[in-house]
């Protein structure tokens, strides 16, 4: 029987085997699955070497050994970090008060204690138990310092063991340098315990003191680029002039686009004394500024895009697969080099130098389905754009089927010309081939006016009189044969005339 349990019943809770299994699973979560299989010698071989700096209280005597002085703020920080770890926030950078983004932009943020109060407490370790652990360790350090004052010394570490592997100080310095240089900010130690930061210089840039920004250095063409797939097209060539001290200087300016027709493209603006030199300079600059269109090859664009630069604009509207490219013929070489297909492209205004910026903005707005899946966290197969299930059969598939029908129409037109002796007679039916069976004007009642609809309705009733007055309504039907009318309509006509038929007024025939 277990003491403290009434009736000798076994206490509720997991047994030793279950606790050990949970312990092994927890080790596997942190990457120590084979920790119990490791040899002591192997474990010591991977441990960092070096003398550990001891923790000393402010009242501790000074020694030559490395030591870390603790004060009341350090004890409070230790308690706070234990509370953070117990609530699942071991990294202090996860809190708003030390968020780099909010620190650099001076945004309001909650304190650490406020965020900890909003998080659920640990079910196994409360804040009081964690604080008692720190207080117990502080008391242990105080008793050790008292024993050291009585003549007790620290046990020295074996020098042979210290000579193997990296020291703790080296690992600490390496980690400190990593955190100082990680990210776009670089930290430098100005004085003892004080640090200053500055923005790290991006690669291949130089500082411009006038604009106070980093400017990208001019780079050459990528040597691994396959130039055999590239095609170029001259968009614009202008003769320019400028005034210098010696007089007026004339030169040429060219705008060239290069690309492989699969989404890789680049625009270049070149200058030179001759058109040939200018075009070559623009082509090289275009190869130095290559960009990529993030689109799905062989699939429809997910949504339309529009790019604007001042009043110049470019609009790309998706079309179903198989419909092809629809644009002005003079823009087709540019669109073929860009690799666009199954879309309608339109431009506004004609200044090419400004238009290329609108083109780049419109192309940057194209996003592939794979990128959308990474941005939204959805599966790639579930992202379906309107029109993905539409397939337009090309018109060239039906050219052979249309040939007999087109030849019949041409023959009819030729016969009409010969019958009318090549004169224009739009209101004459010249040949019976022009009459198509199965069509009557009554079928077009949708576009008829009220009078035409009335005439079509009355054509089905046999007329017995030539007189009719539309202003009299149904009473004007007296001139019709009542034997052909419904009985209710005959009674209504007789009642409206007082039991006898009235002679209808004579009006001209319609």
pLDDT in tens, 372-413: 887 777 776 667 666 666 666 777 888 888 899 999 999 999
Residue 175: pLDDT over 90 = no
Coil/strand/helix, residue 391: strand
Q: pLDDT class for 101, splitting at 50, 70, 90?
A: confident
Poorest-confidence range of 98-102, 170-174, 247-251, 467-471?
467-471
* Structure tokens belonging to residue 214: 């980093």
Residue 95 is predicted with a pLDDT of 85
Digit-coded pLDDT (tens) for 315-372:
999 998 888 899 999 999 999 999 999 999 999 988 888 899 999 999 999 998 888 8
Most confident of 82-96, 143-157, 461-475: 82-96
> What confidence category does residue 439 fall into, taking pLDDT thresholds of 50, 70 and 90?
low
Average pLDDT in the 489-493 region? 55
Alpha-carbon distance of 308 to 359, in angstroms, equals 8
Which is higher by pLDDT, 501 or 354?
Answer: 354
Distance CA 339, CA 297 (A): 9
Say yes or no to pLDDT of 90 above 50. yes
What pLDDT digit, counting tens, does each position of 408-434 carry?
999 999 999 999 999 988 888 888 888
Q: Is 95 helix (H, G, I), strand (E, B) or coil?
A: coil
Q: State the burial class of residue 148 (Cβ atoms within 10 Å of its Cβ: 0-12, 13-18, 19+).
A: middle
For residue 510, the model assigns a pLDDT of 46
Query: Does position 303 have pLDDT exceeding 60, yes or no?
Result: yes
Q: What whole-number distance in Å separates Cα of residue 287 and Cα of residue 281?
A: 10
Please give the mean pLDDT across all residues of the chain: 78
Please tell me whether the overall predicted TM-score, pTM, comes out greater than 0.75 for this model.
Answer: no
pLDDT band at 254 (very low <50, low <70, confident <90, very high): very high
Range name among 121-130, 342-351, 430-439, 470-479 with the lowest pLDDT average: 470-479
Helix (H) or strand (E) holding 305: strand 305-309
Q: Does residue 1 have a pLDDT over 50?
A: no
Which 3-state string (H, E, C) describes 215-268? EECCCCCCCCCCHHHCEEEEEEEEEEEEEECCEEEEEEEEEEEEECCCCEEEEE
- Output the CA angle 138-139-145, nearest 5 degrees: 90
How much is the pLDDT for 440?
61
Q: What is the pLDDT of residue 153?
A: 65
Among the listed residues 157, 144, 156, 155, the one whose alpha carbon sits nearest the alpha carbon of residue 61: 144
Greater confidence (5 vs 330) lies with 330
- What is the pLDDT averaged over residues 227-256? 91
- Give pLDDT, residue 166: 75
Query: Does 238 score more than 60 pLDDT?
Result: yes
* Cα distance between residue 208 and residue 337, in whole Å: 35
Lowest-confidence segment of 53-57, 257-261, 487-491 by average pLDDT: 487-491
**Residue pair 366/306 in contact by the 8 Å Cβ criterion:** no
Q: How far is CA 508 from CA 363, 453, 455, 473, in A?
A: 71, 20, 15, 17
Percent of the chain with pLDDT over 90: 22
Cα separation, 367 vs 388, in Å, equals 15
């Amino acid at each position: 029987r277990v003491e403290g349990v009434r009736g000798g019943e076994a206490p509720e809770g997991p047994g030793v085997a279950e606790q050990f299994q949970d312990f092994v699973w927890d080790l596997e979560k942190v990457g120590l699955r084979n920790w119990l299989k490791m040899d002591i010698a192997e474990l010591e071989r991977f441990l960092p070497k070096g003398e550990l700096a001891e923790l000393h209280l402010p009242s501790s005597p000074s020694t030559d050994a490395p030591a870390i002085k603790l004060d009341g703020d350090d004890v409070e920080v230790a308690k706070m970090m234990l509370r953070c770890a117990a609530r699942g926030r071991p990294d202090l950078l996860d809190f708003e008060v030390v968020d780099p983004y909010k620190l650099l932009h001076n945004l309001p943020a909650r304190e650490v204690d406020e965020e900890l109060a909003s998080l659920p407490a640990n079910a196994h370790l409360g804040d009081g138990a964690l604080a008692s652990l720190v207080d117990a360790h502080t008391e242990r350090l105080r008793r050790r310092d008292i024993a050291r004052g009585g003549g007790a010394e620290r046990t020295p570490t074996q020098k042979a063991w210290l000579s193997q592997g990296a020291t703790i100080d080296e690992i600490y310095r390496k980690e400190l340098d990593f955190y100082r240089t990680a990210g776009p900010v670089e930290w430098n130690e100005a004085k003892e315990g004080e640090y200053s930061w500055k923005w790290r210089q991006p690669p291949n840039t130089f500082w411009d003191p006038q604009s106070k920004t980093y400017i990208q250095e001019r780079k050459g063409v990528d040597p691994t680029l396959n130039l055999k797939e590239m095609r170029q097209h001259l968009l614009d060539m202008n003769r320019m002039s400028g005034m210098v001290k010696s007089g007026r200087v004339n030169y040429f300016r060219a705008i060239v686009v290069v690309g492989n027709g699969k989404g890789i493209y680049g625009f270049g603006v070149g200058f030179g004394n001759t058109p040939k030199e200018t075009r070559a300079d623009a082509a090289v600059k275009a190869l130095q500024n290559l960009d990529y269109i993030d689109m799905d090859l062989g699939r429809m664009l997910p949504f339309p895009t529009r790019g604007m630069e001042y009043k110049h604009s470019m609009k790309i509207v998706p079309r179903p697969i198989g419909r092809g490219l629809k644009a002005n013929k003079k823009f087709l070489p540019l669109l073929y080099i860009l690799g666009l297909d199954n879309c309608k492209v339109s431009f506004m205004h004609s200044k090419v130098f400004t238009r290329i910026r609108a083109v780049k903005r419109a192309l940057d707005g194209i996003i592939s389905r794979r990128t959308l899946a990474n941005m939204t966290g959805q599966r790639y197969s579930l992202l379906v754009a309107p029109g993905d299930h539409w397939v337009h059969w090309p018109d060239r598939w039906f050219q052979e089927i249309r040939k007999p029908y087109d030849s019949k129409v041409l023959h009819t037109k030729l016969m009409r010309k010969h019958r009318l002796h090549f004169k224009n007679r739009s209101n004459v039916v010249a040949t019976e081939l022009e009459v198509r069976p199965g069509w009557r004007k009554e079928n077009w009642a949708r576009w008829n006016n009220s009078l035409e609809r009335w005439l079509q309705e009355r054509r089905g009733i046999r007329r017995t009189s030539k007189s009719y007055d539309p202003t009299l309504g149904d009473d004007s039907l007296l001139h019709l044969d009542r034997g052909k009318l419904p009985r209710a309509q005959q009674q209504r006509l007789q009642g409206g005339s007082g039991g006898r038929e009235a002679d209808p007024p004579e009006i001209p025939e319609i």
